[in-house]
Structure 1
Amino acid sequence: MITFDQVHFYYQKGQVILEDLSFTIGAGEFVAIAGANGCGKSTIAKLMDGLLLPKKGKVTFKELDTAKPTELEAIHEGVGFIFQNPEDQFITTTVMDEVIFGLENIRLPREEIGRRLDYSLQAVQMDHCREAQPHLLSGGQKQRVAIAAVLAMQPQAMIFDEATSMLDPEGRKQVLGIMHDLHRQGMTVIHITHHMEEVLEAGRMLLMDQGRLAYDGDPLTFFDTMNAADYQLGLPFAVRLHRMLQPGTPLTGDWKEMIRRQWSGS
Structure 2
Amino acid sequence: MLTFDHVEFYYKKGQPVIDGVSFTIQAGEFVSIVGANGSGKSTVAKLIDGLLLPKKGTVKVHQLDTANSDELLKIHQQIGFVFQNPEDQFITTTVMDEVLFGLQNIQVPREEMRARVDAALHAVQMEEYLEAMPHQLSGGQKQRVAIAAILAMRPQMIIFDEATSMLDPQGRKQVLSIMHELHNQGMTIVHITHHMEEVLCAERILLIQEGRLQFDGDPLSFFETVAVADYQLQLPFAVRLHKTLQLEGPLAADWKEGIRSQWSIN
Unaligned runs of 5+ in 1: 260-266
Taking the aligned partners of 1:206 and 1:26, their CA distance within structure 2 comes to 14
The equivalent of 1:193 in structure 2 is 193
> Is the 2:6–2:21 contact (alpha carbons within 8 Å) kept by the matching residues of 1?
yes
Taking the aligned partners of 1:258 and 1:45, their CA distance within structure 2 comes to 28
The equivalent of 1:57 in structure 2 is 57
Unaligned runs of 5+ in 2: none
Taking the aligned partners of 1:197 and 1:12, their CA distance within structure 2 comes to 35
The equivalent of 1:90 in structure 2 is 90
Matching residue's letter, 1:141: Q
Distance 1:101 1:204, change over 3 A: same
Matching residue's letter, 1:134: P
Taking the aligned partners of 1:175 and 1:44, their CA distance within structure 2 comes to 22
Matching residue's letter, 1:201: C
Distance 1:107 1:257, change over 3 A: closer
Match 2:259 to one of 250, 255, 260: 255
Q: How far apart are residue 114 of structure 1 and its match?
A: 1.1
> Is the 2:100–2:149 contact (alpha carbons within 8 Å) kept by the matching residues of 1?
yes
The equivalent of 2:110 in structure 1 is 110
Matching residue's letter, 1:127: E
Q: How far apart are residue 256 of structure 1 and its match?
A: 5.6
Q: Equivalences for 1:164-203 in 2 at 5 Å?
A: 164-203=164-203
Matched, 1:9 2:9: yes
Matched, 1:163 2:163: yes
Taking the aligned partners of 1:122 and 1:246, their CA distance within structure 2 comes to 45
Give SS of 2:257's match.
coil
Identical pairs, percent: 67
Matching residue's letter, 1:148: A
Taking the aligned partners of 1:45 and 1:204, their CA distance within structure 2 comes to 16
> Is the 2:200–2:259 contact (alpha carbons within 8 Å) kept by the matching residues of 1?
no
Q: How far apart are residue 231 of structure 1 and its match?
A: 1.6
Q: How far apart are residue 214 of structure 1 and its match?
A: 0.5
Q: How far apart are residue 85 of structure 1 and its match?
A: 0.5
Q: How far apart are residue 255 of structure 1 and its match?
A: 1.5
Query: RMSD across aligned C-alpha pairs, in angstroms?
Result: 1.5
TM-score by length of 2: 0.94
Q: How far apart are residue 55 of structure 1 and its match?
A: 0.5
